[in-house]
Amino acid sequence: MAKPKKQPRPKAETPKGFRDYFGAEVSQRAAMLGQIAGVYHRYGFDALESSAVETVEALGKFLPDVDRPNEGVFAWQEADETGNGDWLALRYDLTAPLARVYAQHRNDLPTPYRRYAMGPVWRNEKPGPGRFRQFYQCDADTVGAPSVAADAEICAMLADCLEEVGIPRGDYIVRVNNRKVLNGVLEATGLVDAAQRDAVLRTIDKFDKVGESGVRELLGKGRLDASGAYIDGVGLSDEQAAPVLAFLTSKGDDTAATLANLRAAIGGSEIGGKGVDELEEIADLLAAQGYGPDRIVIDPSVVRGLGYYTGPVFEAELTFEILDEKGRKRQFGSVAGGGRYDDLVKRFTGQEVPATGVSIGVDRLLAALHAKGRIQSHDTGPVVVTVMDRERMADYQQMVGELRAAGIRAEVYLGNPKNFGNQLKYADKRNSPVAVIEGGDEKAKGVVQIKDLILGAEIAENATLEEWKERPSQFEVPRAQLVEKVREILGGQG
């Protein structure tokens, strides 16, 4: 009889494009989400937690560079009796679910409806360095408000969020543009061919990478890229390209100059003029609230989601420098973006519903704060109550209960207590600030030993023997003073 084949053990590895998050990372993200939620709530937005699964039909075709939505999402078909059922997918972002929620519950929701949402989203895309298939988004949107006052409010709120999480003024800028101005520029070129207009839009989107001269070449005959390959141009004449270049380089010394340059770039375009008017109103509304160009600025180089946004668009950029993996200085870049999208809910209702919103990249923000040294790479662990006598576990549990009741994070060591050195190694690995020790002698005397692990580590690393004597890191106190002394030590550690 053949021997049954042994089943191979599964590999202990994360799927490609995904990663695991441990204690400090989870705690820091939760803290940041709480800070941002506090700002959103202060602005009058209500929380919404929608399903992580949507129908592919509800997600729509708002995914980049794909013809079929389920090419960019994790999708599956729910089989019914006939073998045919709805296609479902993990949500790609938090905006498409909002459109479905608003369309479904609009009779019960206030208008405008102001909501914020936070959570993971999933994209079935090729992963790369720093690019994962699951990541967090942190959105706030206003649905049902046609006034650009709603866009101005989102920009102000975005600036407040950045400062709330620890990005000081001067280290960020919120840049604002308007898709209507861009439409006006396209009118000024005189182009009517849809393919050519799309090619111009794609070229505009490369302005940050290739600059004015590169865009000029790509709008014309073409250019050689860094690899030496020749990239065909759009084929515009100098006259046709002029409004596009004027638009991209229209940022002036102040808001008034920028707006004047934009008006010149759009020529007589009615839609372009409306876009410039909206930018001017946004700038006035922000100035009235004290948000000047040091925080929020009109900037024509912002080009986001060309097929998605219908009006004002905005992007938050961190302006400080960091070192890349090769040690070169570079600006950190964008951490949030959004804009007005008045066509999304229409897919469900058949009627245009104005909407505007922003999405903050929490993981990007956390990476920025780490890069600037404003967040530690680890959390402080719990106070560890060591076990000297396993028969007295109730005593140790009583101690830890008193510490927890006082609001102090604490735990009893639950491993093998035989080797006391291993207990202190465990405390070190947990980054514990304090260890509590009560052996038989301490129990008989009614005292406990409290070891300041942070100070002890510093003394062991830096201090001379004389300094050690002057700065004790272990204290014997009456058992009744356990909580008081631990709190004192933690306070001294900051």
**Which residue positions form the known binding site for L-histidine?**
93-95, 123, 137, 141, 304, 308-309
Phi then psi for residue 288, to 5 deg, are -65, -25
- Residues making up the annotated binding site are 93-95, 123, 137, 141, 304, 308-309
Task: List the structure tokens of 478.
Answer: 């009456």
CB 130 within 8 A of CB 92: no
Q: What DSSP string describes 389-418?
A: -GGGHHHHHHHHHHHHHTT--EEE--S-TT
Determine which helix (DSSP H) or strand (DSSP E) holds 338, and give its type and residue range: strand 329-340
Q: Given its phi and psi angles, is residue 72 left (phi above 0), alpha (psi -120 to 50 degrees) or beta? A: alpha
Cα angle for residues 487, 488, 492 (degrees, 5° grid): 115
Residue 314: its H or E element: strand 312-323
Handedness of CA 52, 56, 57, 59 (dihedral sign): positive
Q: What is the DSSP letter of 343?
A: S
Q: How far apart are CA 92 and CA 404, in angstroms?
A: 41
Residue 143's DSSP bridge partners are: 113, 355
CB 189 within 8 A of CB 235: no
What's the token pair of residue 389?
């006598």
Identify which of 398, 382, 393 has the alpha carbon closest to the alpha carbon of residue 433: 382
Phi, psi (rounded to 5 degrees) for 177 = -140, -170
Paired residues of 455 in beta bridges: none
Q: Is the dihedral of CA 261, 255, 340, 301 positive or negative?
A: positive
**Strand 410-412, strand 383-385: pairing:** parallel
Residue 422 contacts by C-beta under 8 Å, 6 or more apart in sequence? 415, 416
Cis amide leading into 120 (omega within 30): no
Element (H, E) at 277: helix 270-288
Distance CA 175, CA 283 (A): 11
**Got the DSSP string for 416-457?**
-TT-HHHHHHHHHHTT-SEEEE--HHHHHHTEEEEEEHHHHH
Q: CB atoms < 10 A from the CB of 24, how many?
A: 16
Sign of CA dihedral 196, 202, 205, 206: negative
Which two structure tokens, joined as six digits, stand for 444? 């008989």
